[in-house]
Structure 1
Amino acid sequence: MRKFNYLVLNEWLKLSKKRSFFVPHVLLILLPLLLGYMIKAFSEESFASASEFTAVMLQPTGIGQVIAILAIIGTAGIVSKEYSQGTIKFLLIRARSRMAILASKYVTVLLFALSLTAVAAVAVYLSGAIWFDVGGGEAGIRDILFSLLYGCVYTVVYVTLAFMIGVLTTSTGVTIGITMFALTLDKVVIYRDFYKYFLFPNINLSVYHNNAAPLPGMTLGFSIVMLAVYLIAFLLAGFVVFRRRDVA
């Protein structure tokens, strides 16, 4: 366990030393301020409190989607750049299993996404407190926590998809391109029974918050099971390919 923690720490240090590491965090601080100002200026009655502003903005249809995009861009090359820079050979020479090395990279991806989510949550609430009343409104801490949960699920699924594509293609550009294309597809709804088994109608769990469903017959439990199946499939594909790939 200590060796694995060292691998995660090493991966985190490699990621945090990049010049681009703090850029998405800064963007997630400035974006809520800008959005709050624009809403306050042009549609002041849209939100009655900072809690309402936060609960809405953190959902996958708002800044929650921005978090996913920034997490994908920030970590898309965590595996593929090891191949393009030729450092993968040196990484595998060390007395560490391939599974432990790849697992440490995946944990680092999740930690990066979590750091973005935490920064965004604080920034959104403070922005709401600046532009709107702190008290009042119908939304409370429960609504904020649910929005955070929906946003985290949304982000984790997409960064896991990007992680798998990065392992399979060993190309940062292809990884970002395919994952961004997938992000556009989750807005498409095909009203056919078979479509509910696809990833995209299940990924935004926030639709169930108001007792709605993406397609007839779908439930929150069904979507959770489908997302779990996809996550397991993405991880299995990535780990199996990484374990068997020849890097000589």
Structure 2
Amino acid sequence: MPKLIQNEWIKIFKQTSTYIMIGFLVLVMIGWGGIAKYLDSQMASVSDNWKEELQTQVNENKEMLANPDGTIMAPSLKGYLQQEIAMGEYRIEHNIPPEQSSSVWTFISDSVQLISLVGLLVIVIASGIVANEFSRGTIKNLLIKPYKRWKILLSKYITTVLFLAFMLVILFVGASVIGLVLFGTGDAAQQTHLAYTNGAVVEQNLLLYLIKTYLLNSLSVFMLTTMAFMISAVFRVSGLAIGISIFLLMSGGTITNLLASKFEWPKYSLFANTNLMQYIDGTPLIEGMTMSFSITMMIIYFGLFMLLAFGFFTKRDIAN
């Protein structure tokens, strides 16, 4: 098995597109940092009246939460307003001004948004790692080796997951280096994170929070990468896997949020459960959802994806 994984890893890095992906990710991070640096230079310093300004914002959020016009409010928006109100009141009470200047910590936190870009790049790899063997006619050469089919497919999947981890490490380390060069470490107050958990605001170590944020926000990308791998193994068409997976990556969460504002059944969808941050630093998408429920749903979806991928790959006649 290690030999198979090594061979698949070498195949990935023999492709010029792999280095283009890595370079593109680094360039996006540098551009992201440049924009953040420019915006930071244009931002005014914290006002002496920040408490009054923050209290005004809290009052506005409370009025919006009261919803006097009677319109239907999405649970995610309701939870966001509750969080903003609690955060604002906590800052006022404990004399913690809002962050105005950037630091390496804020830049790493903002770079979490680029995890979707990493997902897009890795989905391309996951979609082609099996399908391309069929399109290039190399699958028969692979199967004549003294390895069982399930081991061959498993080695491809493990390699895909390792490549995802590799790209996430590049993102985290790259954001850390770029943020440190452009913004420095910031003051001590910026090294504490305020989290909204179970309806209360708590202070957390920022570095540990950022690592946890990266890991949990990567779950949706991990699941979509697994789905793209499954589609590639079942249908042997990389374009189909790429198209479906990227569409769901970009719009799956939005569609789920819209449905969750009117129905309860979306809680069983994949995209309602991949965001475990909703239990750590926010509110559940649908009332009654718990972290254990979401983990269980992801395990079920993962098992389904693996069952389809290995079932079709090991049983189907390669000659067809």
- Superposition TM-score, scaled by structure 2 size: 0.72
Q: Pairwise CA RMSD of aligned residues?
A: 1.6
Q: Deviation at 1:152?
A: 2.8
2: distance between equivalents of 1:35 and 1:97? 45
Relative to structure 2, which stretch is displaced further, 236-245 or 123-132?
123-132
2: distance between equivalents of 1:42 and 1:90? 54
2: distance between equivalents of 1:126 and 1:209? 27
Q: 1:54 aligns with which of 92, 108, 115?
A: 108
Equivalent positions of 1:159-170 (< 5 A) are 159-170=225-236
Q: For structure 1, list consecutive stretches of 5 or more residues without a partner in the other structure.
A: none
The residue number in structure 2 matching 1:117 is: 168
Q: Which has the higher contact order (CA 8 A, sep 6+)?
A: 1
Equivalent positions of 1:87-126 (< 5 A) are 87-126=138-177
Contact 1:47 1:53 in 2 (8 A): no
The residue number in structure 1 matching 2:292 is: 221
Is residue 2:266 matched to residue 1:212?
no
Equivalent positions of 1:1-248 (< 5 A) are 4-43=1-40, 48-58=102-112, 62-136=113-187, 137=190, 138-139=192-193, 140-183=206-249, 184-188=251-255, 189=257, 190-191=259-260, 192-248=263-319
Q: Deviation at 1:127?
A: 1.7
Contact 1:28 1:123 in 2 (8 A): no
Deviations 1:67-112 (A, max 9, x none): 1111101331100011111111111111110000000000110111
1: distance between equivalents of 2:110 and 2:252? 22
1: distance between equivalents of 2:126 and 2:229? 8
Q: Aligned with 1:22: secondary structure?
A: helix
Deviations 1:152-207 (A, max 9, x none): 32221111010001011101111100101111222221121111001011122223
Relative to structure 2, which stretch is displaced further, 117-126 or 206-215?
206-215
- Superposition TM-score, scaled by structure 1 size: 0.92
Relative to structure 2, which stretch is displaced further, 225-234 or 22-31?
22-31
Count of equivalent residues: 242
Q: Deviation at 1:24?
A: 1.7
Q: Aligned with 1:94: secondary structure?
A: coil
2: distance between equivalents of 1:66 and 1:227? 21
User: 1:21 corresponds to which letter in structure 2?
Assistant: T
Contact 2:233 2:309 in 1 (8 A): yes
Contact 2:220 2:271 in 1 (8 A): no
Q: Name which one, 1 or 2, has greater alpha-carbon Rg.
A: 2
Q: Aligned with 1:234: secondary structure?
A: helix
Q: Deviation at 1:221?
A: 2.0
Q: For structure 2, list consecutive stretches of 5 or more residues without a partner in the other structure.
A: 44-99, 194-205
Q: Deviation at 1:211?
A: 3.3
1: distance between equivalents of 2:280 and 2:176? 20
2: distance between equivalents of 1:232 and 1:110? 16
Q: Deviation at 1:66?
A: 0.9
Q: Note closer, same or farther for the CA distance 1:33–1:47 as it changes in structure 2 (3 Å cut).
A: farther
Identity of aligned residues (%): 31
2: distance between equivalents of 1:30 and 1:91? 36
Q: Aligned with 1:182: secondary structure?
A: helix
